[in-house]
């Protein structure tokens, strides 16, 4: 429960900050051009609000709604998610959105997206300034990688040390490494101390590589015990720190990765068990472990969640990380470069959304919340906030009615053709766009529920 609450708090704080600043972008340009803002709300106040106030001599009501699905800035004389059609039937007033020149209306509409994008670049710059860039270079992972069968079919072997592609050297083990491999025609490696190259088609399915179980490539971890947890199956069979797992049932264990993969197969057996005897059978394994002086083989019953009860060394213990530090002025261009890289990668990955697997990968509030760490970590909080800010900026600029991008599309049409879409058309478009957004939200959150229930 504590982990859940920490993630919820991080998610709510990040979203509240992003929504306030996004709507603040619209608010700033509206006020700059003399447009009246009737309401400025964090969250939606359908039927009632949790808090509201209206400063003296102000036209704007500020408040907090009860429905945490975003927020809104109700601009006078504009067809938006408030669907205030009565106002649109009145004569045009000088202070209304619809009375302003097209270029001013355009700036008002892109104000939110602009603020979110600039905010992300600012946060990335500050992250680099305060924390620097710490990572473990892939070329320094001297134990090499563990590959799945698809990767091995292209010529990779367990233990290969990845160096780079025909385009560039690998930096760290992240989604960028998968992305680089998926588009590479050549991957340079070191195998048994000798440099080699693997030829690839240059068009591997990135989503398939990431979703494969086991995944296309993972850093290889030795199956060596670092510590044994008390009162666990491992402790009961006499396993000690320094021991190696060499076999599980009839399968040779060459790495901790392989050990985890074998337990995943037992998880499939446990999921289909219908009786207590079936469950016990799925949890019962024969494990061989030891050191250069001895090898013990014994039958053991795993915990209900299929744990043996030992830990292995983390990457931080195996490899020394590299840290690049940035001065204040150095962090600004570095943060901008990083932000544009994140945006380009996200836009490039959007093509997978239109595939069957990509649609299943869509997530709602639960999926987004799970991206935050289980403990409060300001570094990860700000990194996730910057990432969500870029996503919010990109998604809002899509040319879908009810989103900022839909309004921008109609304004560009007006600027080019010198013809303004009718208010009746704009109202219908807003309803259609709002309906599309609701369906997408329901679909994404339904995916979260199905994943939680184990159906996806």
The pLDDT tens digits for 150-182 are 999 999 999 999 999 999 999 999 999 999 999
Q: Residue 456 pLDDT > 60, yes or no?
A: no
pLDDT confidence of residue 22: 95
Are residues 224 and 143 in contact, defined by beta-carbon separation less than 8 angstroms? Answer: no
- Higher pLDDT: 89 or 233? It is 233
Angle at alpha carbon of residue 374, lines to 369 and 376, rounded to 5°: 100
Backbone angles phi, psi at 99, to 5 degrees: -90, -10
CA distance linking residue 168 with residue 160, whole number of Å: 18
Dmax over Cα atoms in the chain, in whole Å? 92
pLDDT confidence of residue 330: 96
Question: Over the range 5-17, which residues count as b (16 or more CB within 10 Å of their CB) and which as e?
Answer: ebbeebbeebbee
CA distance linking residue 287 with residue 308, whole number of Å: 10
Q: Residue 388 pLDDT > 90, yes or no?
A: yes
Angle at alpha carbon of residue 271, lines to 266 and 277, rounded to 5°: 80
Are residues 185 and 200 in contact, defined by beta-carbon separation less than 8 angstroms? Answer: yes
Are residues 405 and 397 in contact, defined by beta-carbon separation less than 8 angstroms? Answer: yes
Q: What is the DSSP letter of 303?
A: P
Average pLDDT over residues 275-281: 89
266 Cβ contact list (under 8 Å, min separation 6): 282, 283, 285, 302, 306
Average of per-residue pLDDT values in the chain: 89
- Would you say the pTM of this structure is higher than 0.85? yes
The structure tokens listed for 86 are: 């009565």
Cα 353 to Cα 350, 358, 361, 363: the distances in Å are 5, 4, 8, 11
Q: How confident is the model at residue 81 (pLDDT cuts 50, 70, 90)?
A: low
pLDDT confidence of residue 52: 92
Comparing 158-167, 307-316, 356-365, 367-376, the range with the smallest average pLDDT is 356-365
């Amino acid at each position: 429960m504590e982990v859940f609450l920490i993630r919820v708090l991080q998610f709510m704080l990040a979203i509240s900050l992003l929504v306030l600043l996004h709507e603040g972008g619209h608010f700033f340009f509206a006020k700059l051009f003399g447009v009246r803002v009737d309401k400025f709300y964090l969250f939606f106040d359908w039927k009632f609000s949790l808090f509201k106030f209206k400063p003296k001599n102000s036209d704007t009501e500020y408040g907090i709604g009860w429905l945490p699905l975003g927020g809104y800035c109700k601009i006078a004389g504009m067809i938006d998610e408030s669907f205030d059609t009565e106002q649109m039937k009145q004569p045009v007033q000088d202070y209304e959105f619809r009375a302003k020149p097209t270029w001013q209306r355009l700036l008002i509409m892109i104000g939110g997206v602009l603020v979110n994008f600039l905010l992300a670049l600012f946060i990335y710059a500050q992250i680099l300034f305060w924390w620097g860039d710490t990572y473990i270079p892939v070329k320094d992972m001297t134990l090499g990688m563990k590959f799945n069968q698809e990767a091995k079919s292209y010529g990779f072997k367990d233990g290969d040390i990845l160096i780079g592609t025909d385009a560039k050297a690998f930096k760290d083990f992240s989604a960028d490494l998968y992305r680089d491999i998926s588009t590479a025609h050549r991957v340079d490696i070191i195998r048994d101390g000798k440099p080699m190259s693997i030829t690839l088609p240059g068009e591997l399915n990135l989503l398939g590589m990431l979703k494969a179980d086991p995944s296309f490539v993972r850093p290889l971890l030795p199956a060596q015990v670092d510590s044994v947890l008390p009162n666990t199956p491992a402790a009961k069979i006499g396993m000690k720190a320094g021991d190696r797992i060499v076999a599980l049932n009839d399968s040779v264990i060459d790495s901790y990765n392989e050990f985890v993969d074998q337990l995943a197969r037992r998880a499939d057996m446990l999921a289909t068990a219908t009786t207590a005897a079936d469950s016990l059978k799925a949890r019962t394994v024969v494990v061989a472990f030891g050191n250069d002086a001895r090898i013990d083989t014994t039958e053991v019953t795993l915990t209900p969640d299929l744990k043996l009860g030992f830990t292995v060394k983390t990457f931080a213990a195996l490899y020394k990380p590299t840290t690049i530090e940035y001065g204040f002025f150095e962090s600004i261009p570095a943060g901008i470069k990083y932000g544009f890289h994140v945006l380009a990668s996200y836009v490039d990955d959007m093509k997978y959304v239109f595939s069957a697997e990509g649609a299943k990968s869509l997530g709602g509030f639960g999926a987004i919340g799970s991206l935050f760490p289980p403990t409060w970590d300001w570094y990860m909080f700000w990194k996730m906030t910057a990432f969500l800010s870029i996503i919010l900026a990109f998604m809002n600029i899509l040319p879908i009615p009810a989103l900022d991008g839909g309004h921008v599309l109609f304004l560009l049409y007006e600027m080019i053709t010198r013809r303004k879409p009718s208010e009746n058309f704009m109202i219908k478009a807003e309803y259609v766009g709002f309906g599309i957004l609701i369906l997408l939200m329901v679909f994404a959150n339904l995916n979260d529920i199905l994943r939680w229930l184990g159906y996806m």
